Structure 1
Amino acid sequence: MKHLKIRSITLLLAFLSVGFTYSAIAQGDKKSTAILDAMSSKYQKMKSFKANFTYTPEGGKPLKGDVTVKGAKYRLSIAGQEIYNDGKLMATYIKETNEVNLQDYDPAEAGELDPTKIYTAYKNGYRHAFIKEQKSGSRTLELIQLTSTSKNSQVAKVELLIDKVDKTIKNWKIFQKNGSQVNYTVDQFKPNLTVADSYFTFNSKQYPGVEVVDLR
C-alpha cells in the first residue's frame, strides 16, 4: 500500500517540472502549440524554481504541498511524505512511520509524468488543443487540453491553465483512465532560487530514529 501511495503521488505531480527529450512531433493546433512552446521555454530557462500548491483529489479534502526543482534534481513535500531526488538516488520519507525508502533513480523507468520531465511532456504522447481564455482576477488564463495518445498511459487527459502574460502554469486538472480526477492550483511560484545540491539529498541525521529501507 505504501508503494502504491508513493507512486500515485509521483505520477500526479504533473506539469511542475523540467527536462523531456523531444522525440516526436507535437500534435495540436497552431495556437495551443505556440502557447505550450512559450510555457516550455519559460521553464527551461530557469536554473531552479519552487512552487507551493494545493492538491485536491476528487471527493477529498484539499492538501498543501511544495516542490523545488533544479535540473534533474527535485524535492517534493505532500501528504506527510518528503521525496528527495538528487538525480541518482530517490529517498521517500514517510513521516507517519518515521521510515525512508531508498531506491536508485532511473529516468527511463520514472514514467511519463516524472517531476523532472513533465513540462514538455506534451511533445510526446499527447494531442493538444486550445479551448478558451478565461479570467482569474486581473489575470487572463489560457485553457489548453491535452489528450493522451498512449494506450499504456494511466492518464486520459489533462487540462492546463497558463497565464497569458508570463506563461507560467497556474492550474492543472488530471483525468485518469480509471475515472478519478485530481486538481492542482499553484499558490506561490518562485523562479531562479539559489539552492544547494545538498537540499535534494536525504540526510538521516535530520530524522532521529528513522528506519531505513534500502530497496536497491
Structure 2
Amino acid sequence: MKKIALSTFIIFTFFLSHSIVAQDDPEAKKLVKEVLNKVESYDNLVIDFSYTLENQEQNLKQETRGDVSIKGDKYVLNLMGTTQIFDGKKIYTIVPEDEEVTISLYDEMDTEQITPSKMLTFYKEGYRFKMDIIQDVKGRKIQYVELIPMDSKNEMKQILLGIDRQTKHIFNLIQVQPGDTKIEIRVTKFKTNEPLSANHFQFQRSKYADYYINELD
C-alpha cells in the first residue's frame, strides 16, 4: 500500500506550467483561477490530509493520513511512516522502520520524480474544467469541478476537484480509475504562512548517524 499511496499522492501533486486551456466552462475556469491565485499568494503551506483507496467490488478499503509542509519548491512530506525532504536540489527519503536514508538528485525531466512542492496547482495545464455538483459538508459548500484531461491517452475515468466556495481552498480530490477503484485525498487541516524554522527543509545528517545512508547520485 505504501507504494500505491505515494504514487497516488504524486499524481495529486503533479505540477505543470502556467497556461489555462481554452474551451472551459467559464464559471468553472473562474473558480479554479481564484483557487490558484490564492494558493500561490502564500509564503508557505502546512497541510494535513487523509488518503482513502476503495473498491466496493473487491471489498477493499484502505485509509491512512499524512502531512506536508511546502515553501516554494521545497517540501517535507510524512506519509505511512516515511519522511521525504526536498531541499531544492536533492530528495531525502527517510524510512525509520529500516533505519535507512536514500538520497537522490531531483531531475525535473524525470516523470517518476515529480514532487509535491507546488501542491494544489497540478491542474494549471492539461485539463479542461466543467462544473459538477455542490455538496454541503458540515455547513461548508463544496463545489466540485470535473477535470477533463486533454491527453487522450489518460485512462482515468473521472477526476473531481472539491473546492470550498467560501475560502477558495481545495477540500478534496477524487479519482476514479479503471476497474472502479476510487481514490480520495482530503485536506483535513490547511495552515498558511507558518513560522517554519530556517532548517525545516534541510536534511540533518547528524540525526541519522546510525542509519544506512544510500546515496544514489
TM-score, normalised via structure 2 length? 0.85
Q: CA deviation at 1:112?
A: 9.7
Structure 2, gaps ≥5 residues long? 55-59
Query: Per-residue CA shift, 1:28-86, capped at 9, x if unaligned?
Result: 20011011000000100000010111111222331110000001111100011101001
Question: What's the counterpart of residue 166 of structure 1?
Answer: 167
Residue of structure 2 in register with 1:11 after alignment: 10
- Of Structure 1 and Structure 2, the greater helix share is in 1
From the superposition, tell whether residues 103 and 173 of structure 1 become closer, same or farther in structure 2 (CA, over 3 Å).
same
Question: Matched residues, percent identical?
Answer: 27
Structure 2 residue aligned with 1:50: 46
| Residue correspondence of structure 1 range 6-85 to structure 2 within 5 A | 8=7, 10-14=9-13, 20-23=16-19, 25-58=21-54, 59-85=60-86
What pairs up with 1:66-105 in 2 under 5 angstroms?
Answer: 66-105=67-106
Alpha-carbon distance between aligned partners in 2 of 1:24 and 1:40, rounded to the nearest angstrom: 11
Match for 1:164: what amino acid? R
Structure 1 residues 66, 73: closer, same or farther in 2, change over 3 A? same
Name the count of aligned residue pairs: 212
Aligned residue for 2:121, secondary structure, equals helix
Question: Structure 1 70/212 Cα, relative in aligned 2: closer, same or farther at 3 Å?
Answer: same
CA RMSD, aligned part only? 2.7
Q: Equivalent residue of 2:61, what SS?
A: coil
CA spacing shift, 1:48–1:26, aligned 2, 3 Å: farther
Q: What secondary structure, in the 3-state scheme, does the structure 1 residue paired with 2:109 have?
A: helix
Shift of the 196–35 alpha-carbon distance from structure 1 to 2, 3 Å rule, reads same
* Correspondence 1:92-131 to 2 at 5 A: 92-110=93-111, 114-131=115-132
Instruction: Please say if residues 45 and 71 of structure 2, whose CA atoms lie closer than 8 Å, have aligned partners that are also in contact.
Output: yes
Letter in 2 for 1:69: I
Change (3 A) 1:64 1:119: closer
Q: CA deviation at 1:13?
A: 4.0
Q: Structure 1 pair 80/66, CA: closer, same or farther in 2 (3 Å)?
A: same
Change (3 A) 1:211 1:60: farther
Asked whether the 8 Å contact 1:26–1:124 carries over to 2, the reply is no
Deviates more, 1:26-35 or 1:61-70: 26-35
3-state SS, counterpart of residue 50 of structure 1: strand
| Helix, strand or coil at the partner of 1:199 | coil
Task: For 1:94 and 1:177, locate their aligned partners in 2 and report how far apart those are by CA, in whole Å.
Answer: 31
Between 117-126 and 75-84, report the one with greater CA deviation: 117-126
Contact kept, 8 Å, 1:112 with 1:118, in 2: the verdict is: no
Between the aligned partners of 2:202 and 2:8, the Cα distance in structure 1 is: 19
Separation of aligned partners in 1, 2:12 and 2:175: 10
The alpha-carbon distance between structure 1 residues 53 and 118, as it changes in their structure 2 partners (threshold 3 A), is closer
Deviates more, 1:49-58 or 1:22-31: 22-31
- Aligned partner of 1:141 in structure 2 is 142
2: CA distance, partners of 1:72 / 1:136? 32
Larger Rg: 2
Measure, in 1, the Cα distance between the counterparts of 2:185 and 2:4.
Answer: 17
- Where structure 1 has 5 or more consecutive residues not aligned to the other structure, the ranges are none
Give the Cα separation in 1 of the matches to 2:186 and 2:83.
19
TM-score (norm 1): 0.85
